[in-house]
Amino acid sequence: MINELVIGHADARLVAQAVLDAAGANRKPIAVAVVDNRGDIVYFTRQDGASAVDIRNAERKAYTAAFIGRDSSLWRQQITHDGRTVADWSDLNVTTIHGGWTLRRQSQVIGGIGVTGTGDEDSDEQLALKGAEAAAQISVDEWRTKRDPRPIRAR
């Protein structure tokens, strides 16, 4: 039997909220998608005014990060280096537009986050990173509650 770690709805909401908090009010409206390790949506939200393209691409970025297991900007570098194109994957949902980050815990992919809407893919990526950092912090906090408090030599 195998066990997969998967991001849950509670963590997904915290991750999305971290992005919205970082975005603030004085920017273009954004869309934020958090998906599980298979690329299926767990939580999606958008600010008023986010366009239809923003909605679709936020989901595609998150999907790519989780399904491929690479942050979307890193993946672009990788397939460009390998001389491949996105079309090689025969999957309309994958994209190399920056702004998708893979979420991991215990070295496993547990999901992905995608952000679109700032009008610039690198700004999207920086905002999505805030969500990925929040997810990492949740992971660290959880580890702290479970770790053996004794010094290593005393275990």
Partner 1 sequence: MFQRESIGTEEAEKARDAILEALTDTDNPIALVIADDRGLPVLLYREDGAPARMLRRARAKAYTSANLGVNTVDFRDSEIKAKHRTLSDWGDPMITSLQGGIAIRNNGAVVGGIAMSGNTTIRDEALAQIGLDAMGLEK
The binding site for partner 1 (CB under 8 A) comprises: 8-10, 33, 36, 38, 40-48, 52, 55
Q: How far is the CB of 134 from partner 1 (least distance, A)?
A: 18
Q: How far is the CB of 66 from partner 1 (least distance, A)?
A: 12
CB closer to partner 1, 44 vs 89: 44
CB closer to partner 1, 10 vs 140: 10
Handedness of CA 103, 104, 105, 109 (dihedral sign): positive
Element (H, E) at 124: helix 121-146
Q: How far is the CB of 44 from partner 1 (least distance, A)?
A: 4
List of residues 6+ apart from 54 with CB closer than 8 A: 29, 30, 31, 46, 116, 117
User: Letter for the amino acid at 79?
Assistant: I
CB closer to partner 1, 8 vs 78: 8
